[in-house]
Amino acid sequence: MDLVHFWTNIAPRKFFSSIDSYGRYAYSAQADVIVWNMAQLANALLPIVENDDGVLNSFKELIHEMPNQIRSLWLEKFGKKIGISKTNPDDYKLISSFLNGLASRNEDFTISFRKLTEEPEYFKSVDPDWFKTWQTRISGEPDPFSIMAKTNPNLIPRNHQVELAIKEALNADFTLFYRLNEALKSPYEKTLEYADLETTPTEEEEVIKTFCGT
């Protein structure tokens, strides 16, 4: 699951793990953590592979290339979320500006991207400069909204709903568990039956700590 599914309002430096005291699991730290993890894996593999300079140099090349790969994949994924089928390096600023705007307005990640898909004029009112730049950028796309509709889900397994399903299951009531399971089979479809599952948690419902295995 993407870490952003733990978000309600966007907060890149926020972290949820009960074993994290310094923010190493924060969204903004993930790229660095992935590279560090792979470096440790490479180090662990050295004793069981042909440990020569060739293997060591291959590992180093792969690890040193990872930041570029991560940035490229991030750009590709978020490009599609705003309707761009093939991104270029300049799109990083456009995407980052959109995310920064959501953070400054304290808006929900999932709902905001779906709103951009279905009600784009909203962003013309709250961020007209960004909206104008975005409109210009997607003007050459054959069907940007089709791309967005396939990339931006209506439903995600929100933490507060999963937490409630677990609590009810512990009391032998699996109703919500089965309902979530059924709803999430079609996360991009919008239905009245599951409209309540799209909503963000109240302050009392928000899950602020997670544990290994959740």
Instruction: Convert the pLDDT of each residue in 68-110 to its tens digit.
Output: 999 999 999 999 999 999 999 999 999 999 999 999 999 999 9
Does 9 have pLDDT greater than 70?
no
Stated pTM of the model:
0.82
Residue pair 90/136 in contact (Cβ under 8 Å)? The answer is no
Q: Which residues contact 72 (CB under 8 A, 6 or more apart)?
A: none
My answer on whether 139 and 79 are in the same domain is yes
Q: Which of 43-57, 178-192, 196-210 has the highest mean pLDDT?
A: 178-192
82 vs 134: CA distance, rounded Å: 8
199 vs 214: CA distance, rounded Å: 21
Assign 3-state DSSP to the chain and report helix, strand, coil percentages, each to 5. Answer: 60, 0, 35
Quote the number of domains for the chain: 2
Where b means 16+ CB within 10 Å and e means fewer, 156-192 reads: bebbbbbbbbeeeeeeeeeebbebbeebeeeeeeeee
My answer on whether 172 and 130 are in the same domain is no
The alpha carbon torsion through 110, 112, 114, 119 (nearest 10 deg) reads 170
pLDDT tens digits, 20-36: 666 777 777 788 888 88
My answer on whether 84 and 172 are in the same domain is no
Lowest-confidence pick of 38-42, 48-52, 155-159: 48-52
Average pLDDT over residues 174-180: 97
Question: In Å, how far from its chain's centre is CA 85?
Answer: 18
My answer on whether 134 and 160 are in the same domain is no
Does 53 have pLDDT greater than 80?
no
Which residue, of 121, 151, 181, is where some domain finishes?
A: 151
pLDDT tens digits, 136-148: 999 999 999 999 9
pLDDT tens digits, 188-199: 998 999 999 999
Which stretches of 75-154 are assigned E, i.e. beta strand? none
My answer on whether 11 and 73 are in the same domain is yes
- Domain extent for 34: 3-151
What six digits make up the tokens of 66?
């990872």
Q: Report how far apart, in Å, the C-alpha atoms of 101 and of each of 110, 126, 158 are.
A: 14, 9, 22
